[in-house]
Every structure is written in structure tokens, then in C-alpha cells.
Structure 1
Amino acid sequence: MLFQYLKYYIISLNYFFFSLKFRSIMTFLTSFCITFFYTPYFIFFLKKNKISQIIRNEGPITHLKKKNTPTMGGIIILVSVFISVFFWAQLSNKYIFYILTTIVLYSIIGFLDDYYKIILKNSKGLIPLQKILLQSIIIMITLIYMFFNDTKNLYIQLIIPFVEKIELNLNFTSYLIISYFIILGISNSVNLTDGLDGLVIMPIIFISIGLGLLAYFTGDINLSRYFNINYIKNTKELIIICLAIVGSGLGFLWFNTYPAKIFMGDVGSLTLGYIISIIAILIKQEFLFLIMSSIFIIEFISVIIQVLRFKYSKKRFFLMAPLHHHFELKGLKESCVVVRFWIISFILVLISLIIL
């Protein structure tokens, strides 16, 4: 009897430690602790090597005081995400494999962009054409690899309130084009939005929570039926990556909130935008993802409007683009703009989940 009891206890304990619930909690705590405890050392290292933010001359005058703030903090975020996912995720899961292998490549682009800014002492970094070309190569390789390993999931679901789900079946070319522009657009939109202390990381956290829930629902056959979405086997595991971003993001926000002691840099903003885009594509929730990410899209559109208006009429539509700078010049304090953007982002994620 005692032997049977111990056997049952050991099996139960083993099941608990390998369960998704336990691994998710540990992923969150691991990523948070790594970022929270090691960021001060990373800040010291960056200051010692004079790796600091290069401020745009055409930006708000109030931002000139930030010129000595360490940058490239995205490195500590990505390292903590990678380590926590490596330890707690099932590495045999193909979706985990897609993301871990490609974020390393994509982060190199952001790293090079930051590196050139610091070495050349200008705020431009890589030439836009160089950046887009490098991004395009990695995105295309990723999508083609995903396609040949997962051809049965070549569709997009449109979730419309009070209406049956609409499933758009795509051919390879359509899938490639749509997915390419989602990844390229969102990753660069996140990069453009990263202009105020703490502005980007909190919306990334909100979106990661939303995507984590969607990944869990999609990977559970009963919940997928309940929410009227297509069941995709093994996507539950993506919640590990989402919670790694949440934990790491909160740890980083401790030092990135106004007044920031460290900036994320392109290595962080570009790569985080890439990760959340890939997750949305893997779980086939591109439509809801675009609603969640609308704050980034609006920022991107504000830049396009500003450029086109100035090109053809030599007048500015906004006082300054991206949009967050417009509100700064209207007299709002930086912290006020940031928190209001957070609120809007939270509402957008909530709307997406309500639609589901």
C-alpha cells in the first residue's frame, strides 16, 4: 500500500513539474528575475563603454537631455527570453523551434542598426534600404521554411462579432505576401513607436498576454470549439514564449519607465515586433493581432502622412511625427503621453479578446 501511494505521489509530482501551467509560471519568473537583477549590471557595462543613445537633431528639444542614456537594452530582454524559453519550453515543439532559431538572426539586424548609430555618432544607423533588405531575407526564409513544414495551416481566420468565423484559404504566394507585410510592417512600426520612455514595452506586454491566451485557446481542442476558432495542435506551447516576453518586459520596464535609465534600442524593438508577428501568424489570428497592434500601426501611418504631406505641399500635417512627438509638442508631458498610449493599447487588446 505504501509503495503504491509513493508511486502515485511521484507520478503526480512529476506530472505537475512538467505541466504547462508550472512551466509557464517558471518561465515568467525566470525571465523577470534575469532582467530585473542583471539589467543594473548591464547598464553599468554600457555606461563604462559609452554605449549611449544618439538623439535625433530634428527631434523634440526636451529629448537632448537623454543623449547619455545607455541603449541596446533589448539585448538583456532577448537573452532572458531565450534562456527562460530554452529551460522551460519543449524544444521539440516545432513552433518553439521556429521562433528561437529566427530571433537570433533578426536581432542581428537591430544590433547592427544600433552599432552603426553609436560608431558613426548619428541617429540614422543602417540605410533604410539595407535594413529592409536584411529583414526581407530573414522573413522570407522563415515563412518558406514554415510553409514547407506546415502546409495544412495555409489560411487566415477572420473573427467577426456575432458572425460565424470566416476562413480565407490562400495559395502559397498570397500567404507569403500577406505574412511578409504583417511581419515587416509591425516590426518596423514597433521600432518607430519606441521614442519615449516605456512607451513600447507595455503595449508589447499587453499584446503578448493576448497572444498567449489565443495560442492556448487555439491549441486546446475543447476551447477552440467553444471560441469557434480552428484547432491547431501544439500551439499551447507558445504561451511559454509569450510569458517570457511578459516577465522580461516587466523587469525591463522597472528601469525603462520615465525617467529611463536604459533604452531598448532597435535590437529590442525590431525583434520584439518580429516575435509577436510570428506568433500571430502561427496561430492564424492575424486579423485580431492587427487590432491589438493598432497603436503601432497608427504611429507608422502618422509618419507616412507626414512625409507625403511635406513632400507634395511642403507643409506638415502633424507638429512632428511619429504621433507621440506631436502630442509632446502640443504640451503634454512625456509620462502623460506614455500612460495614455498604454491605456489605448490595453483597450485594443481587450477589444480583440471580446471579439473572440
Structure 2
Amino acid sequence: MLENGLLFALLLSFLLTVFISPVFIPFLRRLKFGQSIRDVGPESHHKKTGTPTMGGLMIIFSALIATLVIAGQFQGLTVEIWLLLLVMLGFGLLGFMDDFIKVVKKRNLGLTSKQKFLGQVVISAIVYVVLLQTGLSTEIIVPGTGWSVDIGWLYLPLIIIMLVGTSNAVNLTDGLDGLVAGTGAIAFTAFAVLAGFTELWTVAIFSLAVAGALLGFLVFNAYPAKVFMGDTGSLALGGVLALIAVFTKTELLLILIGGVFVIETLSVIMQVASFKIRKKRIFKMSPIHHHFELTGWSEWRVVLTFWAAGLLFALTGIWLEVG
């Protein structure tokens, strides 16, 4: 019976996204919510200017409805569900405000980094306070060893670093058609397996609801994309991915399962540091997916390669935890 609930969550969110997209995408186009492509990006991306953005609203909507319906039917709406929805909606709102400023106010950089950071920290702190009231374990488990260490009050900055860092990492990765939709679906499915292994069924239902929404979105976001998720989607996805790792006590495994997002972020850090210190660039362009494009890889080849890497990271993470 429970297995049916997990499958229903995946299918319902997938179908909702597929069915609402043909209506929602033209609506975004009529509102002129088109993506502005920065001049510093690859020249081949300039043709994407005007492609509807804020498609993350469809992902959030489908995952939200599927979670409420399926979790409410099979397991009940737990504290974990409400916190996941809080982070998804809160981070999604920050992303929406960022996208809105970009496409409506015609400020290509959207919210300032300080504004986004403050919003992310406040939401993360609220999550920590609620978790503290529910008897949150502040232990960190080393994957594959069974070793653990209680970090006590340091768990607060850890949660902030995880949620803020992962949301920004997913945001940086969202630069090619289908890249985040595919790698995100893989990562959320992996965490659904880990949640099921620890019998956190509501978390597993939510994870598969997000995975299903991403797969449905991928139908319209695969190259050539008819819609982009924007910061609305990427910030929300990164935030809840990190929170799922907190619930499943796989905080360190997040680094592995989200390996693609980590690599993308490190490439930006390395590029900026190298240019400031040495006045030289390591990559042709960062994040690193643009580097591969500029070496001659097609956009689709880069995406498929990163999907394969994401799948390898996810399988390794599951093996370390379950195997």
C-alpha cells in the first residue's frame, strides 16, 4: 500500500506538470516574462533571449499538490512535510522576487546578493528553531562507517550553510537546457531511497513528488527549452534538497549525491580566486558547464555527461549508506 503511495506521488506530480505546462508557458509569454541573456555568457545562448522563465512555479505547484494529496492520504502531514513546504515556498518566493525584478523591472541581476542571503538565512534559522523543538539530533554521521559526532550548537550554522549553499549551488548549475531538471530528479530520487531506508515515508513521498515534477518539467525544458525554471525553481530545489539531507541524517552525503552542484560551485570559486590572485583564468568560462561548451561540446552533450555524473554520484551515495 505504501509503495503505491510513493509511485502515486511521482506520477501525480509528473502528470500535473505535463498537463499545466501547455497552458502556463503561453501565459508566461503573454506576460512577457522572458529570460534576458547576459552578454558575458556564451554567444550561442543569445538566441534563448525571450524564452519564458519562472517555470519553477509549475514545479513548486505540482510538488505541493502531489505531496499534500498523497502524504495526507497515506501518512498524514507531519512536521517534516510542513518544514519542507516552508522551505520550498520561502526559497521559491525569494527566487520569484529575483526573477520578477529581472524580467519586469529589467534589472538583469535581480535581487542583490545580500538581500537573497538574508532571506535564505532567516528561513534556515526558522527551520532550525522548529527542529530544535521537535528533538532534533545534532549528530553528524560519517557515511559508510557508523561513526558519529555530536556538534551541538554548531548544528545551527551547519543548517544555514547547507540550505544557503545548496540553493545557490543549484542556482549556479541552472545554465543549460535540462541540466538541473535532470540532475535534480536524480538527486531527489536518491534521497527518496535513503528516506525510505530510514522509514521516513513522508520525506520519501515529498522527494518523489519533486522528482516527478522535475521529470514533467524536463519534457518542456530539454534542449531546445520552451521554458526555464529561473531562480524561482533553482533556489527552492536546492533548499529542500539540503533539508531532506538533514531529515535523513545524511548531511555529509549531500556533498556526494549533489556532486554535480558541488563541482559547478567549486569551478566558480576557483575561477574567481585564480583571477584575483594570478590575474589568470583556469576555465574558459565558469560555471564549468560553460567551459565544456566553449571547448566545442554541444549543449546536449554537456547535459548528458553531467546527468551521467549525477547518476554515478547518486548510486555511490546510496551504496555507502545502504550497502
TM-score bracket for the superposition, by shorter chain length: over 0.9
Note the 1:37-186 alignment, pairs <5 A: 37-90=19-72, 91-151=76-136, 153-160=137-144, 164-172=145-153, 174-186=154-166
Structure-2-length-normalised TM-score: 0.96
- The whole-number CA distance in structure 1 between the counterparts of 2:211 and 2:162 is 22
Deviation for aligned residue 1:276: 1.0
Q: Note if contact 1:147-1:154 (Cα within 8 Å) is conserved in structure 2.
A: no
Q: Note if contact 1:53-1:70 (Cα within 8 Å) is conserved in structure 2.
A: yes
- The whole-number CA distance in structure 2 between the counterparts of 1:181 and 1:319 is 29
Deviation for aligned residue 1:68: 1.3
SS of 1:354 mapped into structure 2? helix
- The whole-number CA distance in structure 2 between the counterparts of 1:190 and 1:50 is 25
The alignment status of 1:330 with 2:295, answered yes or no, reads yes
Q: Note if contact 2:33-2:104 (Cα within 8 Å) is conserved in structure 1.
A: no
- The whole-number CA distance in structure 2 between the counterparts of 1:101 and 1:64 is 35
Deviations 1:102-149 (A, max 9, x none): 322221100001011112324311111111111111111111211222
* AA at the equivalent of 1:94: V
SS of 2:286 mapped into structure 1? coil
Deviation for aligned residue 1:202: 0.9
Deviation for aligned residue 1:349: 0.4
- The whole-number CA distance in structure 1 between the counterparts of 2:104 and 2:77 is 40
Deviation for aligned residue 1:25: 1.8
Deviation for aligned residue 1:98: 1.4
* AA at the equivalent of 2:124: I
- The whole-number CA distance in structure 2 between the counterparts of 1:256 and 1:117 is 20
- The whole-number CA distance in structure 1 between the counterparts of 2:196 and 2:103 is 41
Could you say which residue in structure 2 is the equivalent of 1:298?
Answer: 263
Deviation for aligned residue 1:20: 2.0
Deviations 1:55-84 (A, max 9, x none): 011000110000011000000000000011
- The whole-number CA distance in structure 1 between the counterparts of 2:106 and 2:310 is 33
Structure 1 unpaired stretches of 5+: 1-18, 220-234
The alignment status of 1:203 with 2:188, answered yes or no, reads no
- The whole-number CA distance in structure 1 between the counterparts of 2:299 and 2:2 is 39
- The whole-number CA distance in structure 2 between the counterparts of 1:348 and 1:109 is 29
* AA at the equivalent of 1:157: I
Deviation for aligned residue 1:97: 1.8
Structure-1-length-normalised TM-score: 0.87
Deviations 1:2-61 (A, max 9, x none): xxxxxxxxxxxxxxxxx3222222211211111001101111101111111110110001
Larger radius of gyration: 1
Instruction: Judge which range, 84-93 or 181-190, deviates more.
Output: 84-93
SS of 1:96 mapped into structure 2? helix
Deviations 1:302-325 (A, max 9, x none): 111111122223221111110000
Deviation for aligned residue 1:150: 2.2
Q: In the comparison of the two structures, how many residue pairs are matched? A: 318
Superposition RMSD in Å: 1.2
- The whole-number CA distance in structure 2 between the counterparts of 1:312 and 1:29 is 50
Q: Note if contact 2:35-2:50 (Cα within 8 Å) is conserved in structure 1.
A: yes
* Superposition misfits of 4+ residues, deviation over 3 angstroms: none
Q: Note if contact 1:54-1:122 (Cα within 8 Å) is conserved in structure 2.
A: no
SS of 1:56 mapped into structure 2? coil
